[in-house]
Copies of this chain bind each other. A is one copy, B any other.
Amino acid sequence: MVGKSLVQRMHKLGVDTRGSGLTDVSRQVGDWLQQIGAGEGLLNLFIQHTSASLTIQENADPDVLADLLDAMAHLAPESDVYRHNSEGPDDMPAHIKSALTSTSLSVPVTAGEMMLGTWQGIYLWEHRSRPHQRNIVLHFAGTLLETPAE
């Protein structure tokens, strides 16, 4: 990594969710890294919402994701105790679930690939019941595989 100057690239990734659940965005993120010619560096993901969030979880057994949804619903249940309820009973639980998970994540990159563990996938976690359009800002800072003439 010595001797190449660092550059940065940014991209807004739109994701259409189907309502409450986890959407694997690893491939789309990996495709973008390839497209910009990322070499080594750090990828940051930032979701521009407060009722959806990011998580890195097991991508092998879909039962893990189903159990995660149930566990989170148990920790932040729909209830009539909330003051903030004008947007529906699923709204305040969605904010709580977002606070308990991640708005931003960083993943190291080498040879243009995210250094994810064997079973790790990057998920957008939709906490609202209905489908939403969500945005994740991707930011890469590092070296490029073939530095364009700058």
Contact = CB atoms under 8 A, between A and B. Distances in A.
Contact of A70 (B57, B81, B99, B143): B81
Interface residues of A, number: 67
Contact of A108 (B1, B3, B46): B46
**Most chain B CB neighbours (cut-off 10 Å) among A6, A82, A106:** A106
Interface of A: 1-3, 5-10, 40-42, 44, 46-51, 55-58, 61, 63-64, 66-68, 70-72, 75-76, 81-84, 92, 95-96, 98-108, 110, 115-120, 135, 137, 139, 141-143, 148, 150
A8 B56 contact: no
Contact of A104 (B49, B83, B105, B110): B105
